[in-house]
Amino acid sequence: MTYQALYRKWRPQSFSDFVGQDHVKQTLQNALEQGRLAHAYLFCGSRGTGKTSAAKIFAKAVNCERGPAREPCNQCPACQGIQEGHVMDVLEIDAASNRGIDEIRDLRDKIRYAPVQVRRKVYIIDEVHMLTAEAFNALLKTLEEPPPQVLFILATTEPHKLPATIISRCQRLDFHLLEPALIAARLQEVTAAAGRECEKEAIDLIAEEADGSLRDALSLLEQVLIYTPGVVRTENVLSVLGAVGREVFYDLTDALLDRNLSAALLLLQEAARSGKNLHYFTQQAIKYYRDMMIAFTCREDAEKLGVAEHWAGLLRRQAAALGLAEIGRILSILHDLLTEIRWSERPRLLWELAIFDMFSSQFEGVSGRKAAEKEQAASVEKKTKPNSKGAEKSPKTAGSLQEIERLWSKILERVKAANIKAHALLLSADPSFFDGKILEISFASAFHCDMMKEKENHKSLVKVLQEVLGKKIAVHYTVQGEGLQQAVEQRDTEDLIQAAMEIFRGRLISESESE
């Protein structure tokens, strides 16, 4: 028996077997049941959404020997003949290869004759937007005064290219992109019928990759089944796609949050060395950060908008740490990269430059500043004014910040267990000062700083600090640079006063003495 592709083998034979497009099915079935058939229909929608399948089912229902009925019987000679393409009165025309005026004139001449094998002639013109202007003019006359025994079904992926005069003479039905859940359910049915086992995550990945097209999903599934001898797993799908797992972009984002440029570049190197298509890699990255934005802003509706359920929580955590403005900036960088990388001879270099661009705010606004602040803080400690006993501050005070930094990962883990939101916010912050009683935490952005000040977040951190340090301490939050800047300014003021006293051989008097 000749092998048949999955998308052909699983083409629906009746409206009840049709996946999605309930509004289209209901409209056509009501028209059949009520005997209110239009002379011309326009089916619009993206590829693989069921336009041609619906047209054939409709042609069968119109001409079924037991109808017209809401469903074709698929048993009578008319139904079987139409399905197999043997009925000369039901003709499917590809406008991409029959787009000239001569073909339409020939069609116009033939429609005048009565049908021979079935009740009504049905002309299905696929990709009708490909017709020439002259062909459209010839078709227009036919659509204006069609013979009663003729039904036209025009299908197109680009309705905006059709003349308004054609559209106005048709009943238009728009086919929507299918939701991933609907596609995944059909794929599960197909794999079960084929006696194959497929992991749910692999099915979900194929459904997501199909981007609303069931035909594309079936074609990809077929390729994966041929490639994989046993159980189909996520890595098999990724291998066929030449793609990487979402974990790569999760790790890339963590590298951004940790300000670890080398880790990000190593991730890119691994993708490039394994032969991944970096143009497709860019598309995956864009989708990851788009999903991150959706998961963060839409919450419970994220899954309806195409975000996998098991990823939503992880994406929200990273989004809270990055902030919407930073996510938008990354998406802008990736969008520019996508337009450049397709034709580039050095796609890896473009990606490296993009990563440097992503980290630029980190270097300028976080990492570089952080290093400068630590250096300035060390200078402040060295030049601290002597106390009344002539001794410097206890070395324990100077080492306290180091102790907090050493315990910081442990503190974060405990905060994570108590309050995931507070943990996400603290990922973009660092302890910047601690004297044993007061802890100052510096944030990369004012937005995260303000969120951390909220009662529940602050309370969670204070409680964990008390557990770890064995005492209750005060916690202050600042935007990086602000708290330290005050210390630097105070140090400079003290140095200036000290220099003045040395030059003029004076002394510092109190306010009471001056009176």
- What DSSP string describes 147-205? -TTEEEEEEES-GGGS-HHHHTTSEEEEEPPPPHHHHHHHHHHHHHHTT--B-HHHHHH
Residue 494: count of CB within 10 angstroms of its CB: 14
Q: Both 455 and 411 in a single domain?
A: yes
Domain boundary among 190, 212, 241: 241
- CATH of residue 228's domain is 1.10.8.60
Domain boundary among 223, 241, 259: 241
- CATH of residue 274's domain is 1.20.272.10
Q: Both 253 and 141 in a single domain?
A: no
Q: Which of 190-193's residues contact partners 24+ apart within 8 Å by CB, and which partners? A: 190/6, 190/10, 190/218, 190/221, 191/221, 191/225, 191/232
How far is Cα 90 from Cα 32, in angstroms, rounded to an integer?
Answer: 17
Q: Both 106 and 229 in a single domain?
A: no
Q: Residue 477: phi, psi to the nearest 5?
A: -115, 135
**For residue 104, is it within any domain?**
yes
Q: Both 12 and 150 in a single domain?
A: yes
**For residue 415, is it within any domain?**
yes
β-partners of residue 229 are none
Q: Both 294 and 228 in a single domain?
A: no
pLDDT value at residue 370: 42
Q: Both 156 and 15 in a single domain?
A: yes
8 A C-beta contact, residue 448 and residue 428: yes
Q: Both 106 and 210 in a single domain?
A: no
Q: Both 355 and 497 in a single domain?
A: no
Series of mean pLDDT values for 10-residue runs along the chain (515 residues): 80 89 92 90 91 92 88 90 88 84 83 87 91 87 83 92 91 91 91 89 87 90 90 88 86 90 91 87 91 86 76 85 88 90 87 89 46 43 42 40 82 86 84 84 83 88 88 85 48 52 56 48
- CATH of residue 26's domain is 3.40.50.300
Could you tell me the end-to-end alpha-carbon distance of the chain, in angstroms, rounded to an integer? Answer: 111
**For residue 391, is it within any domain?**
no
What range does the domain containing 226 cover?
A: 180-241
SS (H, E, C) 281-318: HHHHHHHHHHHHHHHHHHHHHCHHHCCCHHHHHHHHHH
**For residue 512, is it within any domain?**
no
Q: Both 222 and 257 in a single domain?
A: no
R_g of the chain, CA atoms, integer Å = 34
Total domains present in the chain: 4
**For residue 377, is it within any domain?**
no
Q: Both 81 and 122 in a single domain?
A: yes
pTM of the model: 0.62
pLDDT value at residue 389: 39
